[in-house]
Structure 1
Amino acid sequence: MSRAVLRSGVWLGFYILILWSWWMMFTMSRNMDLDWIGRPGPMGEAMRAMDPRMDMYMPMAEFGPLFWMWAIMMAAMMLPTLVPTLRSYDDLIRSANGTRAGWIGVLTGYFIVWVGFAALITGVQLILLFGGIVDMLGIAKSGFVAGGLMIAVGVFQFTRAKEVCHGVCHAPMTYFLGHWKTGFLGGLRMGLGLGAFCVGCCWGFMALGFVGGVMSLMWMGLATFFMVLEKLPQVGHVITRPLGFALIAGGLFLLVHPFTLGG
C-alpha cells in the first residue's frame, strides 16, 4: 500500500469518526424524550424520592448513560478542532521522522484526555442535577447561575492560563518541536500533553453547555465553531478577547434581567 493511499485512508477514517459522532448526537438529541426512558435503578429511586410524580427513570440522571453522551459529544466537538494539529504532524511525516503510527498516537492521546474530561464533567452535572441547580437536560434553572457562569468563562479568556494553553493549541508545531517523540508511544505521549493543554483552553466552552443545554445542537455547533476559530493560525489570537467581552456582556445581561431557564 502506497503512502498516499495510507494517508488518505487514515484521514478518511478520521472524518468518518467526526461525522458518526455528530450523527449520534443528532439522534440522541432528537429522541431524548422518546427513547431515553430506561429501566428503574438506584438513581431512578432517588429521583422519585425528590419528586413523587416521576414514575419513570431517566438515564440522564445516571453516570453511565450520561458519560456515554458526554464522551460522544467530546468526539463531535473536539475532533474537528484537532485538524490543524494533525496537519502539522502530517507535515513532519514528510519532512522529518514522523510516522503514521505516531499520527494515530497523537489522536489517541488527545482523545483519552477528553474522555477523562467527559467523566469529570459527567460527575459535575450529576452534582448540579441533584443539587437542584440544573434540570434533567443540564440547563441552569436560574438566570443568576447562567449569568455567573458566562462571566466566569468570559473572564478566563483574559487570564494567563488561557494565554498559555491557547498558545500551545494555536501553534502545535512549536509543541511538537519542543516535545518530539517518535513512534506510536511517542505520539501518544505528545497527544496526552496536547489534550491537557486543550482542556485547559476549552473547558469553559464545555461548561457553557449548562447555559444553552448540554444536548442542544445549536450550542454544540456554536461552541465547536468558536473553538475551531481559536485554533486557526490566521485568526485564533485575534478572537480570544472579543469572545471574552461578548461572554461577559451576555452574563451581565442575565444578571440584570434574571429569569428561569430550566424546568
Structure 2
Amino acid sequence: MVELKGGAGGMEQTRTDPIAFQRNVILALLIGLSAAAWALMIWHGAGHDAHMRMASPTMGLGAPAFVLAWLAMTVAMMFPTAAPMALTFHRLQAARRRREQAFVSTWTFLAGYLLVWVASGAVAYLGAVAAESAAQRLELSAQATARIGGAVLIAAGLYQLTPLKDLCLTKCRSPLTFIMTSWREGTFGALQMGAIHGAWCVGCCWLLCAVMFPLGMMNVAALASITLIVFVEKTLPWGAWIAQAAGVLLLAYGFLVMMSPTTVQIFQS
C-alpha cells in the first residue's frame, strides 16, 4: 500500500511496513478464531440439554467429537495468550525472508502448538471415560461425586503454588527467551517449536482445565473465569502473583465443596 504526500519539495513516497501489516493480519485472525470458538461454545452451551452435558465428564460425546470440542475450548482460551509467541516467531521468520534466507509460515508453528492440545484432549477423554465408568460401578452419590470435584479443585489450587507451575508460566511469559533457547530450523523444526511451546502451555494450564470437569464442561461462566486467570497470569507483569492468588481461591473453594458439597453448584448454576 502506497501513500503519496505533497510538500514544498515535491511528492514524498512512503510505504507501509509489510511486516507490521502481516502481524496485524495474524493477530486479527487469532482473535477472530478465538471469538468464533467462544460463539460456538456459548451457542452449544445454551442448548436444551446443556445441563445434562455439563453433568457428564464426556459431555455425552464420542472420542472424535470430544476432542473437537476440546480443540474449540483450546482455541477460545489459549489463542489470545499464544498471540505474543506467534507474533514473535513471525517477526523473526519475516526478517529471514527479507534476507532471502529459508523461512517458515507462522501457521506451521501454531499447528505444532495445536497438535499438543489435541493430544491432551485425547488424554482428557480417556480420563473422563474412566471417571464415568468408576462412578457407575461404585454407584457414587451426588455428594460423593461433588467431594471428588472438591479434591480436583484443591489439587488445582496446590499446583498453582508449585515451582513446576512457576517454571511453566515463566516459559510461556517470555516469547523471545523461548525462541532463543528452543530454535529449530525448517518446517519440521517449526512444528517442534510449536509443540514444545504447547507442552509448556499444557504444563501451565492442565489442572486449570481439569477443574472444568467438576464445574461442568459446557459451563461458559466457569470457562470464562478460567480463561481470565490464564490470560492475566501469562500476559500481565504481575501475572505470577495472580497465579498464586488463583491457587488460594481454588483451595478455599475446594475445601468449601468438601465440607458442603452443594456449594459446587455455585458455578454450575
Tell me how far apart the structure 2 counterparts of residues 67 and 181 of structure 1 sit (CA, whole Å): 28
Is 1:256 aligned to residue 255 of structure 2?
A: no
Give yes or no for contact 1:62–1:126 (8 Å, CA) kept in 2: no
Report matched runs for 1:30-49 at 5 Å. Answer: 30-31=46-47, 33=49
Q: Which amino acid aligns with 2:203?
A: G
SS in structure 2 of the partner of residue 259 of structure 1: helix
Give yes or no for contact 2:147–2:261 (8 Å, CA) kept in 1: yes
Is the alpha carbon distance of 1:99 and 1:89 closer, same or farther for their aligned partners in structure 2, counting shifts above 3 Å?
farther
Q: Which amino acid aligns with 1:14?
A: L
Q: Which residue of 1 aligns with 2:76?
A: 76
SS in structure 2 of the partner of residue 101 of structure 1: coil
1:28 to 32, 44, 52: 44
Q: Which amino acid aligns with 1:229?
A: V
Is the alpha carbon distance of 1:103 and 1:127 closer, same or farther for their aligned partners in structure 2, counting shifts above 3 Å?
same
Higher strand share: 2
CA displacement at 1:96 relative to structure 2: 6.5
Q: Which amino acid aligns with 1:82?
A: A
Q: Which residue of 1 aligns with 2:147?
A: 144
Residue-by-residue CA offset, 1:95-144 (whole Å, 9 max, x unaligned): 667987342222111111111111111121122123227xxxxx996331
Give yes or no for contact 2:70–2:121 (8 Å, CA) kept in 1: yes
Q: Which residue of 2 aligns with 1:43?
A: none
CA displacement at 1:232 relative to structure 2: 1.1
- Alignment RMSD (CA, Å): 3.1
Q: Which residue of 1 aligns with 2:25?
A: 9
CA displacement at 1:62 relative to structure 2: 2.5
Q: Which amino acid aligns with 1:23?
A: A
SS in structure 2 of the partner of residue 79 of structure 1: helix
Q: Which amino acid aligns with 2:191?
A: L
Give yes or no for contact 2:161–2:247 (8 Å, CA) kept in 1: yes
Q: Unpaired runs of 5+ in structure 1?
A: 38-57, 134-138
Is 1:213 aligned to residue 216 of structure 2?
A: yes
Give yes or no for contact 1:150–1:251 (8 Å, CA) kept in 2: yes
Q: Which residue of 2 aligns with 1:202?
A: 205
The structure with the largest alpha-carbon Rg is 2
How many pairs align?
Answer: 238
Is the alpha carbon distance of 1:88 and 1:175 closer, same or farther for their aligned partners in structure 2, counting shifts above 3 Å?
same
Tell me how far apart the structure 2 counterparts of residues 119 and 140 of structure 1 sit (CA, whole Å): 28
1:189 to 187, 192, 195: 192
Is 1:130 aligned to residue 133 of structure 2?
A: yes
SS in structure 2 of the partner of residue 131 of structure 1: helix
- Give the structure-2-normalised TM-score: 0.77
Is the alpha carbon distance of 1:63 and 1:260 closer, same or farther for their aligned partners in structure 2, counting shifts above 3 Å?
farther
Give yes or no for contact 1:144–1:254 (8 Å, CA) kept in 2: yes
Tell me how far apart the structure 2 counterparts of residues 201 and 127 of structure 1 sit (CA, whole Å): 24
Q: Which residue of 2 aligns with 1:89?
A: 89
2:225 to 222, 226, 229: 222
Tell me how far apart the structure 1 counterparts of residues 143 and 29 of structure 2 sit (CA, whole Å): 37
Q: Unpaired runs of 5+ in structure 2?
A: 2-17, 137-141
Residue-by-residue CA offset, 1:23-59 (whole Å, 9 max, x unaligned): 221221122528x99xxxxxxxxxxxxxxxxxxxx97
- Give the structure-1-normalised TM-score: 0.78
Deviating more after overlay: 25-34 vs 95-104 = 95-104
Is the alpha carbon distance of 1:127 and 1:184 closer, same or farther for their aligned partners in structure 2, counting shifts above 3 Å?
same
Q: Which residue of 2 aligns with 1:18?
A: 34
